[in-house]
Amino acid sequence: MSVKCSSPLAGGTLSFFMKISGFSFSRNAAKLYYPVKESILSILPIVDEFVIAVGDNDEDDTTLAQIESINSDKVKVIRTKWDIEKFPNGTEHAHQTNIAKDACSGDWLIYLQADELIHEDDHKTILSACESNLDNERVEGFLFNYYHFYGDYDHYNNLHGWYPREIRIVRNKPDIYSFISAQSFRRIPEFDGLSYRDKTGTLKLNVKAIDAHIYHYGWVRPPELMQKKSRYFYTTHLGKKGMEEKYANSPDYWDYGNMSKLTKFEGTHPAVMKGFIDKFHWGDRLHFEKDYVPNRPLWKHETLRNKVLTSVEKNLLGGKTLFGYSNWNLID
């Protein structure tokens, strides 16, 4: 959303406009149960444009049609092709993200992956942060809190091993790039366009924390589609052969495991998620029994080490994360 701002200049006032872009990437989002349309809609009221790189979807995927059904001049689609041989180990995700980022024209850029949404109640907070820091070049981005919904829409995963915060707004600078597997961003002054996993010569962004959340729904899918999405994900990281070896003895559905230690969500979801939430139908396949043990390798938050760390963090440290992920420099 273009916001009229004012700055002092030679004793007077110079009026100008702040522009905000949203951006993302997707491939086969619809068939893999990503709320990609809802993701775009969740921030469309506060951006001047939303740029999304849409990859070479399968013939039975309806992602492009869903995006086009938004019917907004703000939405700009860039058609792309994925090449996981050239961009292996998940780096095609970062590459696709940067294609969309490079096409943005805003002063600030809001990044949402296709399974991430922003609540309408946080719009004013976001606009205020962007406006008040527009002239403060020291601020290169903003850090959001996270709700990682897991299994259903009533619980989220804040156990050790799940990142509690991440950068989701960056300043529109050409040397700021999506990094590794598109989870975060770094400044890379002399980037070669390929080495997304090489930290040499990269710089963490200076960011401010913002009192807003990313609503992450990447772990809320019917069990069969959760497993299918996981296979797609590991194909981009390990290649087709590596994925097939990893899942050689796996069932056709995802076991969400023991959910008894997850935190109950007491808030409201973004309004545009109502349709997805109304479709929830796999509650009878989720396990909240305290003694339930999944018949599969343990997931990261299920290991004994991480269970101990979770207990220490929640019961002794007031929620402070030990050995936590931090790909940024937090400034006041």
Q: What is the pLDDT of residues 93-151, one digit of tens each?
A: 999 999 999 999 999 999 999 999 999 999 999 999 999 999 999 999 999 999 999 99
Pairing label, strands 165-171, 141-150: antiparallel
Pairwise CA distance, residues 160 & 137, whole Å? 34
Return the SS3 of 198. Answer: coil
pLDDT digits (tens, 9 = 90+) for 149-204: 999 999 999 998 899 999 999 999 999 999 999 999 999 999 999 999 999 999 99
pLDDT of residue 1: 63
Domain boundaries, the chain: 17-332
pLDDT at residue 217 above 70? yes
- Taking the model in full, what pTM does it have? 0.94
The tens digit of pLDDT for each residue in 251-266 reads 889 999 999 999 999 9
Q: Which amino acid is at 96?
A: Q
Phi-psi group of 110: left, alpha or beta (phi > 0 → left; psi -120 to 50 → alpha; rest → beta): beta
| Terminal Cα-to-Cα distance of the chain (whole angstroms) | 25
Give the range among 6-15, 18-27, 112-121 with minimum mean pLDDT: 6-15
On the question of pLDDT at 236 being above 60, the answer is yes
Q: Residue 57 above 70 pLDDT?
A: yes
Q: Does residue 298 carry a pLDDT above 90? A: no
What mean pLDDT comes out for the span 300-326?
84
- Which fold is adopted by the domain 17-332? Spore Coat Polysaccharide Biosynthesis Protein SpsA; Chain A (3.90.550)
